Structure 1
Amino acid sequence: MKTNQFFTILILFVLTLSGCEKANIDVDTTAVDGSAIGEVSGVWARGSTQVIKGDIIIPEGKTLTIEEGVTVLMDTLAKPEIIVKGNLYSLGTADNPVKFTVGDLYKTTLKKFGKLWGGILAGPTCEELVLDYTIIEYAGSTTSDASTSVKMGLYKAVAGENLPALWFSNAKGKLVVQNSIFRNLQEDCTYIEGGKIIFANNVFYTTGVTGGEAMNFKSGCLADIGYNLVYSTNTNALKLSNTGDKTPQTYIIAYNNTFVNTGWRRPTAKGGSVWLESTVRADLYNNLFANTRFGIKRDPKKPEDSRSAYSNNWYYGFDQTTVNQFQPGSNDVIGGKNDVISTVAGANDPKFVNYPVSTSVNNADFNTSWDFHLQGNSPALGKGITTFTRHHQAGIVMKNGITYTSPAPATYVGAYGTKN
């Protein structure tokens, strides 16, 4: 009798634990920590740590909201993928960002380009995805036949592919990435195949071992790209393409971005700063190119839409080699109206507050004390234009009631004006 009672109590105890774990994964509304594998939805509460022990899936029609200060800790042995078939809102704050990361023990120099977990992979049924004040680091592992993304036919659906930190693929969907940091990644930071899109006020650095772009767009995208800092991507800061069979035609408006040292670690035709191909339509204004490889460059065999516009972009090269290779007309480099560009090394120094412009163009290590604001006597102040229309200046309205608006352009060039 006592034995039967013991087993009854034991079973009830196990069921209770199981129920608590499921609640913690699916509908966590308390500030307690948790762990997850399999299907997830609901809320990961402010300040909690969620340990991801294997691939997780947000089911179609379901939503996962991640509140400020949550740490999403990825198991480096399992190398989890985050599959988004429903909706994902990662809503950090400036003081308490959400962080997708790994344990500090694994953040070594040997692992500075990540590949310790997969990425956030949003399939074609994902209607809305928001990353606000979110840090994504040490992602970009390589797929195998056992990968959930391969089995589900997501991304490129083959083994041997280096995953992007973020993939989005719904041309009818909505994607907002703002105030966020992408760092320590193996290849592409983002790979976007459609949607109404805002990328604003983000920072990208220490990314790309042998390839990889900061923002890689394919067909079906209507995107406003403003106030982003991209430092030393292996390949381009922006790869803009209409490749694919989706509608609408991809139309990118990129303005007031700062690109530094991009493209030098992959010295191929496509390695550079902004790459245009396959009838993409692109309007590029007020962008600052400092010591970048090339500037705006087209694929001569598959050029961009003839309606594309380029104006008021700024070019600086510390040495003559850098200056020579971003001259318009050479190597299919494109010049624009009212661009500030010189044939002389050292001309047009934008006068960053704190960045040594003599830093090697092959340097991929980012110093967080650097400050890419402009000094008060910078010649790049007052050289921007504000007369163009953005796609989403009226805002993108999400199901959770939040409206995201692409920021207005500035009269200065680059992502940062003077410090307040």
Structure 2
Amino acid sequence: MKLKQIFAVVLLSAIAFSSCRKANLDVDASSGDGSASGEVSGVWAKGSTQIIKGDIIIPEGKSLTIEEGVTVLMDTIAKPEFIVKGNLYSLGTAENPVRITVNPEYRTDAKKFGKMWGGILAAKTCAELVLDHTILEYGGNTTSDGSSSVKMGLYKAVAGENLPALWFSNVNGKLIVVNSTVRNFQEDCTYIEGGKIIFANNTFYTTGVTGGEAMNFKSGCLADVGFNLVYSANTNALKLSNSGDRDPQAYIICYNNTMVNTGWRRPSAKGGSVWVENNVRADIYNNLFANTRFGIKRDTKSTEDKRTVISNNLYYGYDQTTVNQFQPSKDIIGGVNDVIGTQAGDNDPKFVNYPESTPVLNAVFDTNWDFHLQSGSPALNKGITNFTRHHAGGITVNGITYVSPDPATYIGAFGTK
């Protein structure tokens, strides 16, 4: 009798352990904190901490919702990849953002370009992905032959590639990145190969060691990109391309963005502010370029779509070298009604709190800086609003409709306080 009882207890314990393990892998973690590797779905509950020990995969047909205030800690030894075959909804708030990061002791200036985990890699089967009030930081690991992304044929599917913070690849998918921050990544912040897209009210900084764009769009993208701040991206704030020959043709509408100190840390002449190439169609309005390496630059061997429209952008350079590189030429595109001077210091935007003498090679971002405009700024009342956006009517994702923000009458991402 006792032997039977012992056997029953052992059997029940084994079942309980198996159930706990399955719940851990499936991660329907509504109960709170957890750890995971393998397949995940369900809910990561508000305010919880999730410890990721290895690559995680949201399976096709399933979803993971990350609620406000969740901290996702990536193991710095395993350097996990976050693979999305289903749907991902990361839904932070201003007061309680979602943070996908590493343990605090690794968040140092010595590790400022990350490489301590992979990135969020969304396969073609990912129909919906939302990052709202989400911080992505300290990632961008380099792939190897053993990487899950290489084995699964994701991103560039070869060893030796530095992973972006976010890769999205479904031309029929919906991608929303709003109110979020991407920082401390080795190369590209985002690499987008299709979809109906809104990027708005985001901040990108301290990214790119030898290359890397803040926002990199390819063919298949219909994107509204507005009110973003990019500081010291190694290469461009925006790379706009129709490479890949996917349908539809890439058509990117960029408006009311502020770009500061971008492009200077890349040794080649490609780095700058906005790069257009390969028959991309782009509308570029109301953008503020402060101490960026170049103005809007084209690939002269593979130029932009002739329907591209550029107007009402403002350029400021603290020194003469910078101002000279803004001047329209064969590869630097001048726009209609642009505010562009010829002398160092022309068109000072009068930021509330940013020392415009900050060295252009500086990659360290001070969160006390304030890029709002003071009264009397030449960027005020110089923007236009009479253009059409792709998603003014909104994109509905997971029952929530996200609308690209209305353009402003000022130039840049921030008006007066």
Q: TM-score, normalised by structure 1?
A: 0.97
Is the contact made by 1:26 and 1:43 (CA closer than 8 Å) also made in structure 2?
A: no
Residues in 2 aligned to 1:118 and 1:132: alpha-carbon distance in whole angstroms = 20
Equivalent residues in 2 for 1:245-264, closer than 5 Å: 245-264=245-264
Q: Secondary structure at the match of 1:232?
A: strand
Q: Secondary structure at the match of 2:9?
A: helix
Partner of 1:407: 405
Partner of 2:20: 20
Residues in 1 aligned to 2:38 and 2:30: alpha-carbon distance in whole angstroms = 20
Q: Secondary structure at the match of 1:23?
A: helix
Partner of 1:358: 357
Is the contact made by 2:25 and 2:38 (CA closer than 8 Å) also made in structure 1?
A: no
Partner of 2:182: 182
Partner of 1:281: 281
Give how far 1:17 is off.
Answer: 3.2
Partner of 1:162: 162
Q: State the Cα deviation string for residues 68-117 of structure 1 (Å, max 9, x = none).
A: 01111101111000111111000000000001000011112221100000
Quick check: 1:341 aligned with 2:340? yes
Superposition misfits of 4+ residues, deviation over 6 angstroms = none
Identity score, percent: 76
Equivalent residues in 2 for 1:21-420, closer than 5 Å: 21-26=21-26, 28=28, 30-329=30-329, 332-398=331-397, 400-419=398-417
Residues in 2 aligned to 1:345 and 1:223: alpha-carbon distance in whole angstroms = 34
Give how far 1:26 is off.
Answer: 2.6
Q: Secondary structure at the match of 2:365?
A: coil
Residues in 2 aligned to 1:370 and 1:10: alpha-carbon distance in whole angstroms = 61
Is the contact made by 1:21 and 1:34 (CA closer than 8 Å) also made in structure 2?
A: no
Is the contact made by 1:26 and 1:41 (CA closer than 8 Å) also made in structure 2?
A: yes
Is the contact made by 2:29 and 2:44 (CA closer than 8 Å) also made in structure 1?
A: yes
Q: Secondary structure at the match of 2:321?
A: helix
Give how far 1:22 is off.
Answer: 2.8
Residues in 1 aligned to 2:110 and 2:29: alpha-carbon distance in whole angstroms = 38
Give how far 1:16 is off.
Answer: 1.3
Range that drifts further, 316-325 or 102-111: 102-111
Is the contact made by 2:27 and 2:36 (CA closer than 8 Å) also made in structure 1?
A: no
Residues in 2 aligned to 1:15 and 1:204: alpha-carbon distance in whole angstroms = 47
Residues in 1 aligned to 2:147 and 2:214: alpha-carbon distance in whole angstroms = 24
Give how far 1:3 is off.
Answer: 6.0
Give how far 1:27 is off.
Answer: 5.1
Give how far 1:32 is off.
Answer: 1.5
Is the contact made by 1:182 and 1:189 (CA closer than 8 Å) also made in structure 2?
A: yes
Is the contact made by 2:38 and 2:56 (CA closer than 8 Å) also made in structure 1?
A: yes
Q: State the Cα deviation string for residues 186-224 of structure 1 (Å, max 9, x = none).
A: 000000000000000000000001110000011100000
Is the contact made by 2:232 and 2:260 (CA closer than 8 Å) also made in structure 1?
A: yes
How large is the Cα RMSD of the aligned pairs? 1.2
Q: Secondary structure at the match of 2:233?
A: coil
